[in-house]
Structure 1
Amino acid sequence: MTIRTLLVAILVLIGPARATYAQSVPPAGQFDAARLKVYLDCQYECDFDYLRTNVAFVDWVRDRADSDIHLLVTTQTTGGGGSSWTLKFIGAGPQAGADETLTFSTASTDTSDARRKELARLVRLGLTRYVVRAGQTNSLDVTFKPPAALDAQTTPQKDPWNYWVFRTGVNGNLGGEQTSKNGSYRLNLSANRVTEAWKINLSTNGSYRENTFEISETTTIRSITRSWGVNTLVVKSLGPKWSAGVRANLSGSTFSNQDWVLGITPGIEFDVFPYAESTRRSWTFLYSIGAERANYTDETIFGKLEETVPIHSIGSNLGLRQPWGSAGASASFSQHLNKPERTRLSIFANADVRLFKGFSFNMFGDYSRIRDQINLKRGGASVDEVLLRQRQLATGYRYFVGFGVSYSFGSIFNNVVNPRFGGGGGDRMIIMF
């Protein structure tokens, strides 16, 4: 086949597609100035392509500064394993002061398609008010679907499970090359009951990981690590800002040189903001005190095969989700009461902030100062144990840091969805440093 023949064939194939696209998309640069401009601010679970396609009576813009409506979507896990959604419509410009909040819930058994359909429905419903305020009623209609007839004597449905939700799962993966292979498996079970007054979480898990490396025809290195755990948390609500609870954990790990460790720690927590506002802001302080009983696989660096350690800890956690972005920070300090010099200080922070139009900064990092590794196995570690991470090693600290900036410029509109060659189209142009 000649190059000329090939080019003609390609043009024949793409010609209809080009015509269809031209008919479905307005000419470049032409937008209705009267249409609402909406900026979507959603970190998780929002299918933006689906929203742009199914909420087409507004213009979606790339930056908050160009919007009439800032749509802030937050989610929180419910006791049943589903999600509680909060849609905050924040007016700007001509819509300033006209804020609105809508909420809805999805079940853990809902598909991603069901979740995005319900989200799109609530977005359309929430935007209706602003369309009316903008004077675009000529293109607006409302459809009401009456609910199925209900018996006037119908009583509230009784939950046969009394708010208990059970889950089980098995995960595994395998991989390999000619001279190496790896596999890991994990089993987990959980039972949870969450009401306004009580929160009960019960869970158990186990994992197995194996790696094999053929160094030569006569030398093969094999690494196996196992871990398991049983975890219990019971919390009682003491009001809009206070709660009390107790944790009980039983676990074991070959990596940590622990046959088993049992810990019981009651505690009390205070939230500076009401718990009801946790989707937007939360600042908690938690103090707990208890004890741990441990049995070790091998003798520790302190000559122990078993021991009981009284311990207490204090921690604080701050989380903010606002129109300017999101930020969070946490700090915790734990100490052995029988050996006060054995401590651990951990600090974590993250932020994703829009500093000015089109420019965002994000960072995350954590640091731990470690002085409480009483479980370490006596004796030096072999090269294989170090490289394959078969055992925990002594360290005075751990840290991890990441950061980045992005700058977006160009057209303010972000309406078009074009899935050709694997992309949704209409996304922002981002420069990363």
Structure 2
Amino acid sequence: MRSFSIYWLLALGASIAPVTVAAQTPTRPAATAPSTAAQADTILKSSLRVYLDCQGGVRGCDRDFFVQELGFVNWVRDRFDSDVHLLITSLNAGNGGRELTINFLGQKAFSGKVDTLVVNTLPNDADDRVRRELVRTFQLGLAPFIARTPIASRLRLSLASGSAPQQINPRNVKDRWNFWLYRIDGNLSANGEQLVRSTNLSTSLSAARTTADWKINLGASGSYNERDFKVFVTDTDNPDLRDTVSVIVLQRAASTNALIGKTLTGHLTAGLKISGGFSEVLNQKVSMRLAPAIEYNIFPWTEATRRQLTLLYTLGLNHYQYYNTTVFGQDRETRGNQSLLIATTQRQKWGNTNLSLEGSHYLHDPQRNLLTLSGFVDLRLGRGFSLNFRGSASRVRDQIYIAGNARSERDILTQRQQLQTNFRYNMFVGVGYTFGSIYNTVVNQRFGTLGESGRRFGFGGG
């Protein structure tokens, strides 16, 4: 496919400064001028049709805001009706923010015309700043398409006020943090009724350093979960006499982990995973793991925003100490295991997919294994028709940590500890069909918040 860029519109030499694009939407004429009304309606319907496709829950992707700010294009609800498919994908950036890739995919009369622009955000950027930066980028990318529509004569390009910024080369910037990014999180939640109370505490710390050659992630986390149930107990001698007994269920866990990855080629990466911690739910008083890993991407990593097909192999050594003797009669053990993960990600104009197949087993006994298939598929199969599927299924044979002592009814009902199982699954299937007007882009936020009663009776609202 042929590609083109907007920069031919700006005769500014080698340095490109921020540009503001402005176009006037045809105003609604007076009722007394039907010929003018018909002309305006013709121009409006012949304006550029744009389909917005924000995949992966892109932060700041606010369609209502874009409709209000970019009124000189027609925003359609189906990609099959569009002249330009605006596909937005995102990846984590080394500074903790996101790299947003905006693909302008021409369709119909613009078939074969493609452009790509990139927006970088910071981790603490407000959503309003992100969506305004997206608006500016949309204006730039849509300009060459609009230039070939009936409203081209109304299009104006101008430099933003102020002097043009100088191009900055990140390699020449002295970073006093040496590309390290740190984060501290703490969470407290509590809820309760007359007979049930729940308290959850969690905290996490992380440090990450990302360059083109190295990726280092360090982290630690802890959690405390307490549930208090009030149970009525009846006196067998006097049935009319009842007492209340408090049943408290505690679940505590903590972990530390480190990941170090080294870029070898445009497709191959080598790394090392280290982790340690404890978990009452998993019957693990001590859990430690050391695992070298190697990853290969069939496609170049430069195409990661659109497609990936990766193979990840890990060979690890694990040491466990248990709270209770396991079903295999172990109080502690050291075991090796290996795993292979095959994963594919596609973000295309027909939809997006993310599928993975992972298998692992312990080296001392291949019968102790785990096989998991998981992912989601979101397809736009035709005009107004969509199909999406999310789920996972696992065959479980590797629960060597299960405690051997008999489970009480309380432990089973409250899931205080991990229960033995041969399989796990979850699934969701959705089908949607939308039909009607493709031109109605009116934004009306009235009755947008209906409170608790609105949610209870199915009216939505926040």
TM-score, with normalisation over the residues of structure 2? 0.83
Distance 1:242 1:228 in 2: 32
Q: Does 1:367 align with 2:393?
A: yes
Task: Give the stretch that moved more between structures: 396-405 or 41-50.
Answer: 41-50
Alignment-derived partner of residue 234 in structure 1: 260
Counterparts of 1:235 and 1:57 in 2: how far apart (Å)?
Answer: 47
Deviates more, 1:91-100 or 1:129-138: 129-138
Q: Which residue of 2 aligns with 1:203?
A: 219
Superposed, 1:102-251 pairs within 5 Å as 102-145=117-160, 148=163, 156-216=172-232, 217-251=243-277
| TM-fit CA distance, 1:33 | 2.2
- In structure 2, what is the equivalent of residue 36 of structure 1? 48
Q: Is the CA contact 2:324–2:405 (under 8 Å) kept in the aligned structure 1? A: no
Deviation at 1:34, TM superposition (A): 2.1
Instruction: Give 1:88's match in structure 2, choosing from 100, 103, 115.
Output: 103
1:351 equivalenced with 2:363 (yes/no): no
Correspondence for 1:429 = none
Residue type of the partner of 1:42?
Answer: C
Per the TM alignment, residue 339 of structure 1 is displaced from its structure 2 partner at its CA by 1.2
Change (3 A) 1:24 1:187: farther
Taking the aligned partners of 1:180 and 1:73, their CA distance within structure 2 comes to 44
Alignment of 1:271 with 2:297, yes or no, is yes
Residue of 47, 71, 92 corresponding to 2:86:
71
Paired residue secondary structure (1:136)? helix
SS at match of 1:285: strand
Q: 1:224 & 1:420 partners in 2: Cα distance?
A: 45
Query: Matched residues, percent identical?
Result: 37
In structure 2, the CA distance between the partners of 1:406 and 1:169, relative to structure 1 (3 Å rule), is same
* 1:229-308 equivalent positions in 2, closer than 5 A: 229-308=255-334
User: Which has the larger displacement, 318-327 or 153-162?
Assistant: 153-162
Residues 47-69 of structure 1: CA distance to partner in whole angstroms, max 9, x if unpaired? Answer: 11111111111010010111000
| Runs of 4+ more than 4 Å apart | 22-31, 146-155
Q: Which residue number corresponds to residue 19 of structure 1?
A: none
CA deviations on 1:85-134 (whole Å, 9 max, x unpaired) are 00000101111111110011000021111111111110111111111122
Gaps of 5+ in 2: 1-26, 32-36, 233-242, 450-462
The one-letter code sitting in structure 2 at the alignment partner of 1:37 is R
Query: How far off is 1:145 after superposition?
Result: 2.4
How has the CA–CA distance of structure 1 residues 250 and 92 changed in structure 2, closer, same or farther, with 3 Å as cutoff?
same
Please say if residues 175 and 183 of structure 1, whose CA atoms lie closer than 8 Å, have aligned partners that are also in contact.
yes
| SS of aligned partner of 1:219 | strand
Q: What is the aligned residue count?
A: 402
Deviation of 1:328 (Å): 1.8
Q: Contact conserved, 2:325 with 2:405, CA < 8 A, in 1?
A: no
Once residues 106 and 301 of structure 1 are traced to their aligned partners in structure 2, the CA distance between those partners, rounded to angstroms, is 50
Contact 1:62 1:414 in 2 (8 A): no
Alignment-derived partner of residue 8 in structure 2 = none
Q: For 1:92 and 1:356, how far apart are their aligned partners in 2?
A: 15
Give the SS at the match of 2:417.
coil
Mapped to 1, the partners of 2:161 and 2:308 lie a distance apart of 39
Give the AA of the match of 2:51.
Y
Once the two structures are TM-superposed, the CA of residue 147 in structure 1 deviates from its matched residue by 5.6
8 Å contact from structure 1 (residues 335, 343) kept in 2: yes
CA RMSD of aligned residues (A): 2.4
* Partner of residue 338, structure 1: 364
Question: 1:149 Cα deviation (Å)?
Answer: 7.2
Decide whether the 8 Å contact of 1:91 with 1:97 is kept in 2: yes
Alignment gaps of 5+ in structure 1:
1-21, 424-433
1:25 is displaced (CA, Å) by 13
Quick check: 2:339–2:359 contact (8 Å CA) kept in 1? yes
Q: What corresponds to 1:14 in structure 2?
A: none
